[in-house]
Structure 1
């Protein structure tokens, strides 16, 4: 059973005479091992999601409503400092996902003349199903000059090789890539922002924020208990997504194994991020019939245009009275379907974003796409290549950022830390 611990309780405990909470106490307070099928039962909106387990939380965990994603550049060449920071990050993450402050002395419990051990904006808020998911980018293994800064270049997995350029990409380097990443998901945006802010504070002098992205209104379901949400184009998104309850599919398509060639990644996975800007105003002037033809699904039910209900398999061979396929050859659902991509499946976990408007008064809005997979070059790449070459939806979207990260297995207990298998 997950424990809900208020920050008010922590402040009382860490005040006069209470002293520091040891790392082991965090395990006793908030952490239970999660099984491989964790995520099949959704906690309440204020509950804590267990931090420790075989796999990191925030992957098959039922997708929360809010996102704060951040990519970091490592600004030190000192391996010991980096490892120390990762240990500090892990302890802080375990505390914050349990509803505690980032540090034992908290936002107001420490010496008045010293900076607080927590930024304080989440005081009084519950855990809100916060999950923190950590990853490493290819640039951590060898920098742009080819240097092996941390003695780990030989341990870079083949699956982490750079993604190819896709037709139509308009990538901005300053919001792409990154040495490290953290995905914070929660039901309360302030809880997610608080978590990222504190990790950046703890990492000062070791890492700097390369870019970050806020997201809302999850655009995928990662559990069969969740209804399919809608993207900003108004269509249900992720109907055919890999679900946590599909244990055989999850094993085969999501989790890396030692047999894949990198022992330290066994039980981990790989994350692809793509920031996709939508030309909302042009889309809104497009007829309903054309919108549905582009997606290959009806806008209301989300059913394939070949007939049936939302979760019925599309019949790509079915034709209309004119002899043409009811689902066009360039329809999104056809091009993204596993049968068009050698059986490749992804676990999508994207979010809508609105970053204000541009100088012409158009919404800077779209989808922050995130997908988890066992090998992005065998799963994401063929799907995206197919879409980039043929998808008529490309007339209304533009890919402006891209990232690829290795997501290590879960943290076993309070003595373990993020990335221990890589640096240990």
Structure 2
């Protein structure tokens, strides 16, 4: 069945079944379609399973495109926020399986009423779409009676040396990360969630990203950032089950109970001074990163995945990988064993009034405890990394990512409101 007919039929027929509580996989079986692919096997066009112990879009093999959005909740009624999360979950479950956002879709409803879907993804396959929600610290103020349920790990990040954060591009009550292999599919998903949330949430900021800058599976090649270097070589991978348990997923003892199986997301928009970097010699670029630019190997070694040898010295007796090289400062051995799962993306937001590219990295990392993992790594980088001469952190966010939606009777954040 083609992508066109699948979206149309599911939007106008089996959509009602899904909305009434049937699982997405069950709805697809009614049309003799295969169930969603597991995250370890998803292709560029397949759908990713929405239901599960953990939210998709975290350890899922990183897709090529991003649309990230942060929202402020503008209703003051807890019941309206709870209802919104239920509506968002239902729409997300549908869209991640290649369906339209609402029961009647873009063209199947009452002509005199607004459509249930904006329509720009009609005819497109699911494209590996994942939607991942998070709750910011500001959601736990006095508005909704949630203050007593705020996780201890959701306290504010410290201010790091060199930060030039823009408040309007930071924080947020809610965030939604849409990743897909087609930018139109990702944009469509965020657009429809914003449409559904009208009157209850307002968009605080959003960010488009392209060209993932990390691999989250051993089946993926390591990508390059806009500085031309391979990025995320030592990233946690979905195949690293034991390390994901230790470094990614919130355990029962971490508390609170509603976060068990969840994680924490840190976002940082990092603008690169592209023109200055492009005038820097290759030798200096490699010394700053501590890796060669071609293969991505640690200096003094041959292969990308060779473990860095920080004791190895050059002919002059100095370490081949300098004391302030990026790879040394960010390495787990320099940070008490702290590891992150990174899902960053390149961005280019046009150019500024001086003709310089407004470009860089939208950094995203997931971790079990940001204050024990992200904070020490970033503190070391902010203090000593020579790369800071070429970058500027302009936004920051921290969000509690709840566990996955178990089935069609569950919804994002249900345990939080229980």
Task: Compute the TM-score of the two structures, normalised by the length of structure 2.
Answer: 0.96
Deviation at 1:12, TM superposition (A): 4.1
Match of 2:181 in 1: 187
The alpha-carbon distance between structure 1 residues 30 and 402, as it changes in their structure 2 partners (threshold 3 A), is farther
Deviation at 1:33, TM superposition (A): 10
Secondary structure of 1:248's counterpart equals helix
Which of 283, 301, 309 matches 2:277? 283
Match of 2:63 in 1: 64
Distance 1:30 1:415 in 2: 17
Match of 1:256 in 2: 250
Deviation at 1:26, TM superposition (A): 4.3
Deviation at 1:369, TM superposition (A): 0.2
Deviation at 1:30, TM superposition (A): 5.4
Match of 1:110 in 2: 109
Match of 1:21 in 2: 17
Matches within 5 A, 1:222-261: 222-261=216-255
Matches within 5 A, 1:13-52: 20-23=16-19, 24-27=21-24, 28-29=26-27, 39=39, 41-52=40-51
Which of 270, 284, 291 matches 1:297? 291
Distance 1:219 1:176 in 2: 21
Which of 8, 21, 32 matches 1:11? 8
Distance 2:44 2:220 in 1: 13
Q: Indicate if the aligned counterparts of 1:5 and 1:99 stay in contact, CA closer than 8 A.
A: no
Match of 1:375 in 2: 369
The alpha-carbon distance between structure 1 residues 378 and 321, as it changes in their structure 2 partners (threshold 3 A), is same
Q: Any idea what the Cα deviations from partners look like across 1:214-239, whole Å, max 9, x if unmatched?
A: 00000000000100000000000000
Q: Indicate if the aligned counterparts of 1:256 and 1:266 stay in contact, CA closer than 8 A.
A: yes
Match of 2:152 in 1: 158
The alpha-carbon distance between structure 1 residues 19 and 100, as it changes in their structure 2 partners (threshold 3 A), is closer
Match of 1:409 in 2: 403
The alpha-carbon distance between structure 1 residues 293 and 159, as it changes in their structure 2 partners (threshold 3 A), is same
Q: Indicate if the aligned counterparts of 1:65 and 1:218 stay in contact, CA closer than 8 A.
A: yes
Distance 2:92 2:402 in 1: 15
Deviation at 1:421, TM superposition (A): 1.0
Q: Any idea what the Cα deviations from partners look like across 1:128-187, whole Å, max 9, x if unmatched?
A: 000000000000001xxxxx1111101111111010000000000000000000000000
Distance 2:219 2:6 in 1: 33
The alpha-carbon distance between structure 1 residues 269 and 33, as it changes in their structure 2 partners (threshold 3 A), is farther
Q: Indicate if the aligned counterparts of 2:162 and 2:382 stay in contact, CA closer than 8 A.
A: yes
Match of 1:354 in 2: 348
Matched, 1:422 2:416: yes
Distance 1:26 1:202 in 2: 21
Task: Compute the TM-score of the two structures, normalised by the length of structure 1.
Answer: 0.94
Deviation at 1:387, TM superposition (A): 0.1
CA RMSD of aligned residues (A): 1.8
Q: Indicate if the aligned counterparts of 1:306 and 1:316 stay in contact, CA closer than 8 A.
A: no
Matched, 1:214 2:208: yes
Q: Indicate if the aligned counterparts of 2:28 and 2:35 stay in contact, CA closer than 8 A.
A: no
Which of 203, 211, 216 matches 2:197? 203
Q: Indicate if the aligned counterparts of 1:69 and 1:184 stay in contact, CA closer than 8 A.
A: yes
Match of 1:93 in 2: 92
Match of 1:53 in 2: 52
Distance 1:240 1:359 in 2: 37
Deviation at 1:85, TM superposition (A): 0.6
Q: Indicate if the aligned counterparts of 1:169 and 1:400 stay in contact, CA closer than 8 A.
A: yes
Deviation at 1:29, TM superposition (A): 2.6
Number of aligned residue pairs: give it. Answer: 412
Distance 2:410 2:4 in 1: 24
Deviation at 1:18, TM superposition (A): 8.2
Distance 2:130 2:317 in 1: 50
Distance 1:392 1:293 in 2: 9
Runs of 5+ in structure 1 lacking a partner?
Answer: 143-147
Distance 2:169 2:11 in 1: 39
Q: Indicate if the aligned counterparts of 1:7 and 1:101 stay in contact, CA closer than 8 A.
A: no
Runs of 5+ in structure 2 lacking a partner?
Answer: none
Secondary structure of 1:275's counterpart equals strand
Distance 2:35 2:402 in 1: 16
Deviation at 1:45, TM superposition (A): 1.1
Deviation at 1:6, TM superposition (A): 3.6
